[in-house]
Amino acid sequence: MHRITLLFFTLFSISSSLLLAQEKQKKVFTFAIDQDIDPGMNRRVKLALEQAEALKVDVILIEMDTYGGAVTDADEIRTRILESKIPIYVFINKDAASAGALISIACDSIFMAPGASIGAATVVNGTDGAAAPDKYQSYMRSMMRSTAEATGRNPQIAEAMVDEKLVVPGISDAQSVITFSVSEAIQNGFCEGEYASQKAILEAQNLQSAQVIVYEEKTVDTIISFFLNPAVSGILILLIIGGIYFELQTPGIGFPLALAISAALLYFIPYYLNGLADNWEILAFVIGIILLAIEFFVIPGFGVFGVTGIVLTLGGLVLGMLPNEAFNFDWVSSTQLLKALLTVILATLAAVGLVFWLTPKVNEWGAFKHLALATTQDRAQGFTASVYSQNLVGKIGTVHSRLRPSGKIELDGEIFDAYSRGDFIEQGEPIEVISTEGTSLRVKKWEG
């Protein structure tokens, strides 16, 4: 009898140890949704869920505190959560409004901190914050309803979080959208419990001994986030414009062009990876640069190619920062648009100022002297600064293509590059050559 008791005790101890070991092997993966729902947050959730799946964790716990954001990104996030084979809990630490409410409802379990709230999912437009047209409200209602149905929550309440016209007896009086406090959410099945911390939630779910893995962005993702900063984007735009200008002024050196290309890559790649910059927006930027080069080298002056090139270049930079769908800007907030415009405009003005400040100083740099000839080659020492004969000085001709202030002129049936003293001279006007310095003839309007 004693041996049987000892054997039973031994088996019980082994079983308990195995169960305890199994409990210790459980893994909980946690990450935060603590900013606006946008392409950047969409990408964070995607990478976090992929990492959790690769680690084969038992539970995913999201800490939520957001006022919402882009509906399109929220839709992608809630779809990933619904399709996840790993149970996903959400801990609403403070707010789960609008798109945050949609994402929370998609989770298997909702837990809330004291004083937290969930709801107010009305879609607003991107200009003045007013309610968006009914077709967008209808789209959001359908997502809230279907998501609630998929997770076993009341679809009527979910819809009423979007539309103030919907009446839910005992809850909504058709005068305001539903926003639940903790107790109201628990009472109506939109929260499984009130807890002060993630630790308290894990203890309540018998996961106190589980290994908690906190999502950390990889180095490359940290770098991408760094380059998405508007201040950094502004510096990159400055380098792009400045590099292009100096390359056009001193073709063949290569360094300014390499700098501009590197800055353009660092500018567009992070926005592209975050779903902001589309292929056509990058293409518009590239076409703009090509048109500017054509205007500068092929068609001297400043006309249609130059204006179109500037519009496409700056337009590509602005659009690359916005979450627009082609030419649909319904989901672009006024704040996002203003931030993008200010970043590009201020960076462009800074680049222009830098160009004017640096241009006369470039030749003084010791490093630049290895790339370009900076010494003065005086005519008295036998140097000539023109490819044209001095016999052309005083010649009378006509403007072949409008001087703005550079263009082309016609002398004795031949075409020459020329520039005025700053005046705009129309095509066909008579001109007089006053200097042959440089690779172009300097002219003035002939008054004879």
Residues contacting 291, CB < 8 A, separation 6+: 305, 306, 308, 309, 312
CATH 3.30.420.40 fits 23-216, yes or no: no
For the chain, which ranges sit under pLDDT 70? 1-25, 125-130, 174, 249-253, 299-302, 331, 333, 359-390, 437-439
Q: Which residue has the tokens 């007089």?
A: 432
Rounded to whole angstroms, how far apart are CA atoms 326 and 329?
8
Number of other CB atoms surrounding residue 248 within 10 Å: 15
Q: In angstroms, how far is CA 306 from the centroid of its own chain?
A: 27
Rounded to whole angstroms, how far apart are CA atoms 199 and 323?
36
H/E element holding 334? Answer: helix 334-358
Residues contacting 16, CB < 8 A, separation 6+: none
Backbone torsions φ then ψ of 93, nearest 5 degrees? -75, -30
Domain residue limits, the chain: 23-216, 220-370, 379-445
Residues contacting 65, CB < 8 A, separation 6+: 32, 33, 34, 92, 93, 94, 95, 96, 100
CA angle 249, 255, 260 (to 5 degrees): 80
Instruction: Please give the pLDDT value at position 12.
Output: 58
CA angle 145, 136, 130 (to 5 degrees): 115
Residue 37: DSSP 8-state: B
Asked, colleague to colleague, whether 23-216 and 379-445 share their fold, the answer is no
Instruction: Please give the pLDDT value at position 56.
Output: 93
Nearest to 110 by CA among 184, 217, 213: 184
Burial 146-179 (b: 16+ CB within 10 A, else e): ebbeebebbbbbbbbbbbbebebeeebeeeebbb
Query: Contact 194/112 with Cβ under 8 angstroms?
Result: yes
CATH class of the domain defined by 379-445 = mainly beta
Rounded to whole angstroms, how far apart are CA atoms 196 and 199?
8
Start-to-end C-alpha separation, the chain: 134
Residue 66: DSSP 8-state: E
Backbone torsions φ then ψ of 122, nearest 5 degrees? -65, 135
Instruction: Please give the pLDDT value at position 438.
Output: 63
Number of other CB atoms surrounding residue 11 within 10 Å: 10
Backbone torsions φ then ψ of 427, nearest 5 degrees? -60, 135
Q: Is the pTM above the cut of 0.85?
A: no
Instruction: Count Cα neighbours of 203 within 13 Å in the Cβ-side half-sphere.
Output: 7
